[in-house]
């Protein structure tokens, strides 16, 4: 009778390990999920899509020009929070907000104050940030190759970032435990 209860304990432990190995990927997903603030139960996922700059990335401004640079995003105008250039928030009198979708035009008088070279604009909305670079050229400089360098800082992860090693180790432990249980069961059958 004692051997029978020991085998039940071992079987229960093995089933627990197997369930744990099966539940870990689900728990890892729930840990990374963002829940909306308004949902009391915490079961609806936030589906905000970060904005992208659809045109204007890699633009070039010549010092002394009367026209500014325009950057168009795929987000709504009402979602705009702030605009940064080279990581510094700029006041709203240095740019114009227009259009649907959101379009930002940096004024020429502001662009004239920037140093020569590559600069980064960040358009921050309620859905995230969109980045693009632009180049300011002063008088008598040679143009460099134009790069289209638009990127989004909060773009969704597209790769599987789960720790495969942990899952493989759990699988090996489970298989070893099943093997030990199998041998244990064969020995107990011979004794009976």
- pLDDT (0 to 100) of residue 9: 74
Cα–Cα distance for residue pair 86/95, rounded to 1 Å: 15
Q: What is the pLDDT of residues 81-122, one digit of tens each?
A: 999 999 899 998 999 998 888 899 999 999 989 899 999 999
SS3 91: coil
Where the chain has pLDDT below 50, the residues are 1, 35-39, 44, 141
- pLDDT (0 to 100) of residue 29: 53
Please give the class, per CATH, of domain 53-152: mainly beta
Residue 190: Cβ within 10 Å count: 7
For residue 99, the 8-state DSSP code is: T
Cα–Cα distance for residue pair 172/92, rounded to 1 Å: 59
| 4, two tokens | 């029978």
- pLDDT (0 to 100) of residue 171: 84
- pLDDT (0 to 100) of residue 77: 86
Q: Please, is 91 exposed, middle or buried when counting C-beta atoms within 10 Å of its C-beta (0-12, 13-18, 19+)?
A: exposed
Intervals of CATH 2.60.40.10 along the chain: 53-152
Cα–Cα distance for residue pair 190/158, rounded to 1 Å: 54
Cα–Cα distance for residue pair 108/65, rounded to 1 Å: 7
- pLDDT (0 to 100) of residue 36: 47
- pLDDT (0 to 100) of residue 160: 63
């Amino acid at each position: 009778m004692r051997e029978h209860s020991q085998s039940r304990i071992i079987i229960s432990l093995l089933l627990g390990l197997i369930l744990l190995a099966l539940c870990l990927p689900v728990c890892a997903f729930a840990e990374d999920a963002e829940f909306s603030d308004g949902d009391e139960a915490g079961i609806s996922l936030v589906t905000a899509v970060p904005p992208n700059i659809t045109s204007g990335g890699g633009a070039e401004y010549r010092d002394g020009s009367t026209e500014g640079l325009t950057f168009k995003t795929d987000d709504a105008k009402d979602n705009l929070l702030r605009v940064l250039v080279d990581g510094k928030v700029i006041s709203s009198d240095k740019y114009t907000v227009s259009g649907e979708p959101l379009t930002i035009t940096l004024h020429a008088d502001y662009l004239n104050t920037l140093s020569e070279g590559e600069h980064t604009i960040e358009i921050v909305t309620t859905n995230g940030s969109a980045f693009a670079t632009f180049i300011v050229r002063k008088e008598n400089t040679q143009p460099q190759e134009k790069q289209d360098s638009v990127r989004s800082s909060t773009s969704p992860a597209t790769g599987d970032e789960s720790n495969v090693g942990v899952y493989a180790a759990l699988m090996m432990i489970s298989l070893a435990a099943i093997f030990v249980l199998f041998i244990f069961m064969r020995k107990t059958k011979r004794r009976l």
